[in-house]
Amino acid sequence: MKMKKFKSVKIRAFMRRNRIYLVALLVFAMVSCGFAKKSFDDPGQDKTLVDLISYVLSRWHFDPQDINDDFSENVYNDFIDAIDPMKRYFLASDLEEFSAYKNKIDDEIREPGVEFFSLVYERLMKRMNESKKFQEELLKNPFDFTKNETIDRDYEKLTFAKDISTLKERWRKELKFSTLANYDIKLEVEKNKKKDDAAYAIKGDVELEKEARESTSKTYVEFFDLMDDLERKDWFSIYVNAIVEEFDPHTSYLAPQDKDRFDMNMSGTLEGIGARLQKRTEGAKIFEVISGGPAWRSKKIEAGDVILKVAQEGEEPVDIVGMRLDDAVKLIKGPKGTKVTLTMKKVDGSIDIITIKRDLVEIEETYAKSAVVKKGQRTFGIINLPKFYVNFEDYNKRNAASDVKKEIERLKDQGMEGLVLDLRNNGGGSLKTVVDMAGFFIKDGPIVQVKSSVDGREVLKDEDSRIQWDGPLVILVNELSASASEILAAALQDYKRAIVIGSKQTYGKGTVQNIVDLNRFVHGGDRNIGALKLTTQKFYRINGGSTQLEGVKSDVVVVDKYSFIDVGEKDQENPLPWDQIDPASYDLWDGYIDYEKTISKSKERMANNAQLKLIEENAKWIKKRRDDNEYPLNYVEYKKEADADEEYAKRFKAISDYDTSLVFTSLPYEELLMKKDSTLQGKRQAWHEDLAKDVYVEEAINVLGDIQINNIKKKKRAVVKG
């Protein structure tokens, strides 16, 4: 169906007001129209899902792939690797049988079928049960730590076991390696007890080896318990993702529970009791109570408590012992204002019945946080932004842009002379929030260019002439700063508005995804089949270059722990290519008088920084250790290598002992909150301590101190408050 059929006057008006949501609107409209002629009443939900997803992908992905024999082989390899990456379940004979489908998966996608998946799934269940028995059998007998043998854990190079005995031997070495590590830890504990008490009798090797095996056994019992929790639909989700990720690394299928988690991660909120849970054989164990949530406010629940039963208001309690964790969580979560009654086994062993009113819970670590930075008599500010969060259903609710705006104003009230925006490890998020946020630092103009397969090129602009902060600005990035982080850093770098300090390049994700709710296209029934996160656009800098693969190059490059590890977009499978388009029209920021000179001074400082040289040495050492995959299973040799590593690692202790002499304090509003919330106080204190040792933050503050503002130009700009 052609685009022009949808371009009514009403939609054109909507386009002018809401450019960012255009592609999502058109995708939903066109797919709905296309599917009006399709029937998805097949009782086999798996086939329905494959048919629906392949239809959407082939028509609305930014760069649709040919679903042919090559595509089929890639899906085959990726799926096998996803479910048995350590090659500890399948045999070579299994792979020989599976290979009959290597060039047939494309046929099963076109004429929906799931024979390949069904065969692999059923064999996996069989092999997992066999492996569980191996684990139980092998851990009954002591391991000989005097035997000279090694284990090679380079699983990519490892071939599938030729027979059951070879596979069992592989398991033996894995279990022995885990037990050896446990044994070493227990022996060190015993030696420390002896140091503290000369009369203490150290346990013998036989007893310690037995305890170490028991620890290994417990770990694997819990592992297989989690595996037993997975249902066929969970494994099918992995298979579907092996298909969709052939299009690009960021297109993915979200099963219903994954869609819920995605929404929670993007908004930073959930409705429930405010506790994080772990699966345990005796029930659901609380490992964290979220500060400010209903469980925290009740003062009756603490980390370590175990939930045994769950009762909805006015209903009988349901025993959740042995229940899948996802199913238990569904019972515990619920709409704001409703009540849930929990039967708890407390840390002290007592049983308590506690009723809690559910509420909206904010995940504090999702959100922007700020601190006042003192360097001598000068005052600066730092804002840490973990992600560009947003509530997709209501943009007016809490989001990254509105929060950063508030923090800027609060820091200005404290006399801030320069601002550090820390986007390290920020994986991105909402495109609209980054466009709004960039506008806080410039008068107006283009922020990012977006190109879609259905609407061509468009320029997203800041059309608000107000400036929230027109003082010195530094942006911190690293190799894990991605997507929206790269848009913001690139835009402010192109304007010469901010100086970017960090890794040689950022992650390199130059694509935009939209969420398509698949349920709207399936008529009849009340089943939930999830959603598709679909790459529909690429974004480009205002200078016309793409950040795809190349990322944003820092103005001042500094080494960090990720510098020698493959973590970027270019290291992923099936990334879209780099390209460029025409630049947008924009004027450089004229608020600085020594932009290039400031960068030059920073580079000179960094080149002679002893702390950075030590960090670089540490990063290379970490890379070397990661690449070494062969380990001794003889304890004497194992200990010799471990001691050598520990001794060498001592030289890097200075990294964590570094002192910037900067002083960090919370804003007044947070100081008031912390008087009532010791958890928040502890988190902020830990953050400030980390910042005080952070050489990158130190240099960012140095740069802020060096930047000279063009006061003549500054007086001509309108700077707003609030």
CA–CA distance, 656 with 136 (Å, rounded to integer): 42
Q: Is 509 a catalytic residue?
A: yes
In order of 24, 44, 240, 523, 525, the CA distances from 41 in angstroms are 26, 9, 19, 7, 9
Question: Comparing C-alpha atoms, which of 75, 118, 76, 70 is closest to residue 96?
Answer: 76
Helix (H) / strand (E) containing 69: helix 69-83
CA–CA distance, 630 with 627 (Å, rounded to integer): 9
CA angle, residues 679, 682, 688, in degrees to nearest 5 = 140
373 touches 662 (CB < 8 A): yes
Task: Spot the catalytic one: 259, 375, 509, 538.
Answer: 509
Task: Spot the catalytic one: 483, 503, 563, 602.
Answer: 483
Q: Where are the alpha helices (DSSP H) in 197-342?
A: 205-229, 232-244, 256-267, 294-298, 325-332
Q: Is 600 a catalytic residue?
A: no
Task: Spot the catalytic one: 106, 359, 470, 494.
Answer: 494
Question: Comparing C-alpha atoms, which of 420, 470, 424, 492 is closest to residue 704?
Answer: 420
In order of 126, 189, 452, the CA distances from 192 in angstroms are 45, 5, 63
Q: Is 370 a catalytic residue?
A: no
Question: Comparing C-alpha atoms, which of 545, 535, 493, 529 is closest to residue 512?
Answer: 535
Which CB contacts under 8 angstroms, 24+ apart, belong to 602-611?
A: 602/499, 602/501, 602/555, 602/556, 602/699, 602/702, 602/703, 602/706, 603/556, 603/557, 605/699, 605/702, 606/556, 606/557, 606/558, 606/699, 609/695, 609/699, 611/654, 611/655, 611/658, 611/695
CA–CA distance, 26 with 7 (Å, rounded to integer): 10
Residues involved in catalysis: 483, 494, 509
